[in-house]
Chains A and B, each alone.
Chain A
Amino acid sequence: MSEIAKSEKAIDMIGVNKWYGSLQVLKGINLNVARGEHIVLCGPSGSGKSTLIRCINHLEEIQEGTIFVNGTQLSQSGANADHIRRDVGMVFQQFNLFPHLTVLENCMLAQRRVRKVSVAEAREKAMRHLERVHIAEQALKYPAQLSGGQQQRVAIARALCMDPKIMLFDEPTSALDPEMVKEVLDTMISLADDGITMICVTHEMGFARAVAHRVIFMDRGEIIESAEPAAFFGNPSHERTRAFLSQILDH
């Protein structure tokens, strides 16, 4: 595990509250993420963990509280969301590759339209990141021709092409067949080794042990517990954390 530069905050969430109608899905979230820190977010379904990370790049609006990303405050209206998103990559549970574009084109589109780089430069960078996730030989195929694990690795490469300082992973292995989980986790581990800031919603506790600086447990919209992996797994302080861990680690 690399040492974290504690001085700089990548993400700072202060008193964040969010409702869907009358249902409060985030309750007083305070979360500080240092540059280079790797956070694993876990909790039962419906606990608000996906919603939390989707607030960071304004895919979800918050009703109360403040979110800073790399020192820039995310405005409530989302007016500066595009600016924030340039520094924040996201990987989704369902991959969300663009079906009508090849793997290479998937990785080039946003570079061309957002970064406004030349075709040659976009292609060069796309190929570099596709090689990094070990899928360069599939560059000219379409997403539907790839396995789930391959698609997710392309999705990671696509996000990396934008040079994000922060990567958000929203249950990246939950939609995969078991035999494909490892290849995606390995890719994420190598990414973590490079020192990028990561927040990962996952139930892959082996991954959490391997790369997380902190594991955070959420339940019913609240952060219940936040601790280093050794303490989190070895000696959880809350009853709800223990109950959750016993459910997912039992077998």
Chain B
Amino acid sequence: MNYTFDFSPVLAAWPTLLEGVIGTLRMSSLSMVFGLSLGIVFMLMRLSNQKVLRIIAIGYIELIRNTPILVQVFFVFFGMPAIGIRLSGEQAAILAMTLNCAAYAAEIVRGGVQSIRPGQIEAGRALGMHTADIYRFIVFRPAIRAVYPALCSQFILMMLNSSLVSSVSAEELTYFAQTLDSQTFRSFEIYLTLGVIYLVLSQFFSAALSMIGRVYFSYPAK
């Protein structure tokens, strides 16, 4: 082996990599928020007593969970212009990740909602509260708390999966790393560094999410 390791081109490119980190953080965070929100809508449809809504939700969830995320990203970016929806790489990335995250979040949150004892809902009913208020004020928080660790893993998985959207030239970390690779051919050093950065990002997300959890779910458990 006569390869000489040289990290200097990677280190010299730190402003580009930082831009990538910011891109990854931005796209992942937005997709998490949108994905969770949309996921809650699908979850409510999934639990609705309207058969049509249930079928739509189940169909959607199955479709997303049984196709590769890369195909979903390609479909949004390359496929949708055919029906007049033309998105930038970043917009397509956020949309695809949101749609993907929603399906998983819907199923995770459904588990949480179904773990709530019926007595909680009955107590709300007996107080004269409407179904929407019961879900919003009584069911939601304990339900999310019950599945929060699973939800966090899903979010972190999505942040890692965001490296795939470099393939539609969304300007995130992997995209800049690939660009750097094509300029310097320091593949080993670049992708090793990239891996370390993703590792740090995961830890960061994990810590941030658990901090949010500690504040939002600070009430003592039964």
Contacts and interface: CB of A to CB of B under 8 A. Distances in A.
Contacts of B141: 100
Interface string A40-62: 00000000000000000101000
Contacts of B145: 100
A159 to B, nearest CB: 7
A162 B127 CA distance: 7
Interface residues of B, number: 23
Interface string A67-105: 000000000000001100110111010101111110000
Contacts of B123: 90, 92, 96-98
B129 A96 contact: no
A99 B220 CA distance: 8
Contact of B120 (A57, A82, A96, A114): A96
- Provide the main secondary structure of the chain B interface: helix
Nearest to A144: B220
A244 interface: no
B195 to A, nearest CB: 39
Nearest to B125: A59
Interface residues of A, number: 28
Nearest to B145: A100
Given A57-B126, A110-B127, A159-B127, A99 B119 contact: no
Interface stretch (B92-100, B130-138, B169-177, B197-205): B130-138
Given A59-B122, A92-B123, A109-B137, A99 B128 contact: no
Contacts of B222: 99, 143-144
A207 B145 CA distance: 40
A230 to B, nearest CB: 32
B213 interface: no
Contacts of A162: 127-128
A142 B127 contact: no
Nearest to A114: B128
A99 B145 CA distance: 11
Interface string B138-163: 10011001000000000000000000
Given A96-B120, A100-B142, A144-B219, A113 B133 contact: yes
A190 interface: no
B142 A85 contact: no
Nearest to B141: A100
Contacts of B120: 96, 98
B126 A89 contact: yes
B215 interface: no
A82 B130 contact: yes
A184 B169 CA distance: 66
Interface string A125-166: 000000000000000001111000000000000110010000
Contacts of A145: 220
B73 to A, nearest CB: 37
Given A96-B122, A96-B123, A100-B141, A110 B129 contact: yes
B128 A94 contact: no
Nearest to B127: A110
B221 interface: yes
Nearest to A94: B119
A110 to B, nearest CB: 4
A31 B91 CA distance: 64
Nearest to A109: B137
A92 B128 contact: no
A153 to B, nearest CB: 15
B126 A113 contact: no
A88 B119 CA distance: 17
A110 B133 CA distance: 9
A162 B141 CA distance: 23
- Nearest first, the 8 closest Cβ-Cβ pairs linking A and B are A110-B127, A96-B123, A90-B126, A85-B128, A96-B119, A144-B220, A100-B141, A114-B128
Interface of B: 117, 119-120, 122-130, 133, 137-138, 141-142, 145, 217, 219-222
11 contacts: A81-B125, A88-B126, A92-B122, A96-B117, A96-B120, A99-B219, A109-B127, A113-B129, A113-B137, A144-B221, A158-B127
